[in-house]
Amino acid sequence: MSTAVTPTGNDAPALPFALARNSFYNLATQIALMALGVWAIPKIVHGLADERFGLLSLVWAFLGYFSLLDLGVSRAATKFLVDSIVRDRADEIRSIVSTSLQLTLLIGIAVSVALWMLTPWIVNSVFSVGPALQREASVSMKWTACALPIVLLSGIARAVQMAYQRFDIMNMLQGALGTTQWVGSVVLISMGFGLTEIVVLSVAARVVTTAASFWSLRKISPHQASIRLGWDRGTVRKLFGFGGWVTVSQVIAPLFQYMDRFLIGSLLSLSAVGYYAVPQEILSRLLVIPFSLSLVLFPALSQNEGASGMSAAQAALYQRSIKYLLAFVLPITLAGLSLASDFLGWWVGPEFARSSTVVLQVLSVGFLFNALAQIPLTAVQAAGRPDTIAKFHMMEIVPTIVVAALLIYSLGLLGAAIAFTLRVVADCLLLSFAAHRLIPKAAVHRGSSPFQPRTLANNLVFMCLVLVLAVFVSGMMKVGLLLALFVAYGITLWFVVFDDADRNFFLQLRTRFFESTVKG
């Protein structure tokens, strides 16, 4: 059998290009969909009016975030499929795919029935929808309930695509879904249709793309990814054993994301929430960069089941991933520190900038550590230890709430930003420690490490220069000098920080992308 999963060992040098290519697919898809959203949202808001658009946003949120209700089965399926694919165990592959699909279908049907039955209570009590919109809201929620099994099943299809490293197919279908949702909504509004028709379109688009995802499995692995009725109890225990801990983290993560906003609303004012939420949302959107990398790292680092840690090739891949990610996100962080006031004043207005500048600056530091934390988090999950991550998150809940409440009460919005940054720094350090224990001492390679002296010295000099620039220079001169510093940083990265393996990789990457473009 021929698969897209590159085993460790002699073939390891081929893996970084596949990793970069797949990360590019993820990042390009997300950026394109974000741009489509920026174009479409004003048109949809104008066509539906505020209250109906609010309902549509809730429906889309349900469709997007109900994937968390699969109890971590899709993540577990990717983890265990990779090992079975590398070892060419056809029976295990069929068992994992079939069991995962049947489990998620049962979960989806149960949640769908529950949501359908709770629709009147959700519409009337939870969201307090006015009488004029109650019928539309009820119909929209029931269509959403019908779509939930499809949403969960599509997660399993994506898990198989990830395990086989077919991110091209996965992103093509995700891009088609997003394009249909955004462009189709605008077209329907221009034709005089409303909320219900847009919801039906969103559901229909998910049905079609999910069907296409399962059809693609025939191309990816025509025999081994086939589906059979019934499941193996051992596979069920394995999937839920891994997925249960993933679910704990998935439940706690949104609490960390939005808890500070609730505390600000309670301890300060509702208007203060906006001054905090806008900078936080800006930086959360930028997390698409590490997410795009971590998504393809997970199957690459999962090819070592039964071992106590990473192989030498995986350890080098892990360390170089952090090294490259740090080189990419550090300039973004320093741009946030330096240009926060100028950017917010231009984008939102001077009055808003006065209240949010310091918040954006402090949260920019948190963004750096939050981005870097995604790599060790992925490594620990891939090693089969999601329980470690869940235990860290449970351990952080109470201290996070207490510290955030105290800092918000004493320092206001600045306190909220400091509390968030302290938590992500602590989380990054804990995860990095856990991941470092997976690296065999013999596998540590100085050239791969992001913490070698020349890397640290280069980053420290760059940070100091940018901070001096931020304090003593203003206006367009600051922007120009900052761009010059970024260019200088790139040059020092290439000639000072990167070793021969890094430079050869990027040169080959450029050549292979160029060749692919010319052939296309």
- What is the DSSP track for 101-159? HHHHHHHHHHHHHHHHHHHHHIIIIIS---GGGHHHHHHHHHHHHHHHHHHHHHHHHHH
Closest CA to 309 of 396, 382, 221, 208: 382
Most confident region among 281-285, 327-331, 363-367 by mean pLDDT = 363-367
pTM for the whole structure: 0.73
Same domain, 296 and 411: yes
In a domain, 520, yes or no: no
Structure tokens at 344: 């917010």
Cβ neighbours of residue 244 under 8 Å, at least 6 residues apart?
71, 72
* Mean pLDDT computed over 215-244: 73
Percent residues over pLDDT 70 in the chain:
84
Is the pLDDT confidence value at 244 over 50? yes
In a domain, 463, yes or no: yes
Which pLDDT tens digit goes with each residue over 420-453?
A: 999 999 999 999 998 888 877 655 555 556 667 7
Q: Which of the pair, 381 or 18, is modelled with greater confidence?
A: 381
Residue 439 region, left (φ>0) first, then alpha (ψ -120 to 50), else beta?
A: beta
Same domain, 440 and 360: yes
pLDDT at position 370 is 92
**What residues make up the domain containing 280?**
244-445
Same domain, 123 and 67: yes
* Mean pLDDT computed over 406-412: 92
Same domain, 408 and 305: yes
Is the pLDDT confidence value at 17 over 70? no
Asked whether 397 and 255 are in contact (CB, 8 A), the reply is yes
pLDDT at position 10 is 38
Average pLDDT, the chain: 80
Same domain, 457 and 502: yes
- Pick the last residue of a domain from 231, 259, 287: 231
In a domain, 210, yes or no: yes
In a domain, 204, yes or no: yes
Structure tokens at 288: 């698409």
Size (the chain), residues: 520
Asked whether 147 and 208 are in contact (CB, 8 A), the reply is no
In a domain, 239, yes or no: no
* Mean pLDDT computed over 348-360: 84
Whole-number Å distance between alpha carbons of 130 and 142 = 18
- Pick the last residue of a domain from 208, 231, 254: 231
Same domain, 72 and 216: yes
Q: Model confidence at 1, in pLDDT bands (50, 70, 90)?
A: very low
Q: Rounded to the nearest 10 degrees, what angle do helices 386-411 and 233-267 cross at? A: 0
Overall domain count for the chain: 3
In a domain, 178, yes or no: yes
Q: Model confidence at 9, in pLDDT bands (50, 70, 90)?
A: very low
Residue 385, classed as helix, strand or coil, is coil
Q: Which of the pair, 439 or 326, is modelled with greater confidence?
A: 326
* Mean pLDDT computed over 163-179: 86
Same domain, 363 and 460: no
- Pick the last residue of a domain from 445, 463, 490: 445
Same domain, 361 and 507: no
pLDDT at position 4 is 40
pLDDT at position 515 is 57
pLDDT at position 7 is 37
Which pLDDT tens digit goes with each residue over 259-318?
A: 887 788 778 876 777 778 778 877 887 888 888 778 778 877 776 655 557 777 788 888
Same domain, 20 and 113: yes
Is the pLDDT confidence value at 11 over 60? no
CB-CB neighbours of 219 under 10 Å = 11
pLDDT at position 304 is 60
Three-state helix/strand/coil letters over 317-352 = HHHHHHHHHHHHHHHHHHHHHHHHHHHHHHHCCHHH
Whole-number Å distance between alpha carbons of 403 and 61 = 29
In a domain, 97, yes or no: yes
Asked whether 449 and 323 are in contact (CB, 8 A), the reply is yes
Which pLDDT tens digit goes with each residue over 72-124?
A: 888 888 888 887 877 777 778 888 888 888 888 888 898 889 888 988 887 77
pLDDT at position 187 is 92
* Mean pLDDT computed over 235-252: 79
Percent residues over pLDDT 90 in the chain:
12
Same domain, 327 and 375: yes
Same domain, 401 and 465: no
Asked whether 414 and 358 are in contact (CB, 8 A), the reply is yes
Cβ neighbours of residue 99 under 8 Å, at least 6 residues apart?
231, 232, 235, 236, 239
* Mean pLDDT computed over 349-377: 89
Rg of the chain, C-alpha, whole Å: 24
Closest CA to 383 of 494, 242, 503: 242
Q: Model confidence at 321, in pLDDT bands (50, 70, 90)?
A: confident
User: Mean pLDDT lowest for which of 105-114, 386-395, 402-411, 471-480?
Assistant: 471-480
Same domain, 301 and 430: yes
Most confident region among 12-21, 144-153, 237-246, 313-322 by mean pLDDT = 144-153
User: Is 389 exposed, middle or buried, given 0-12, 13-18 or 19+ CB atoms closer than 10 A?
Assistant: buried
pLDDT at position 230 is 63
Is the pLDDT confidence value at 406 over 90? yes
User: Mean pLDDT lowest for which of 29-38, 125-134, 150-159, 491-500?
Assistant: 125-134
Q: Which residues of 201-215 are buried (b: 16+ CB within 10 A; e: fewer)?
A: bbbebbeebbebbbe
Start-to-end CA distance of the chain, whole Å, equals 27
pLDDT at position 225 is 55
User: Mean pLDDT lowest for which of 71-85, 301-315, 373-387, 406-420?
Assistant: 301-315
DSSP per-residue letters across 295-324:
HHHHHHHT--TTSSS--HHHHHHHHHHHHH
Whole-number Å distance between alpha carbons of 13 and 64 = 36
Asked whether 314 and 304 are in contact (CB, 8 A), the reply is yes
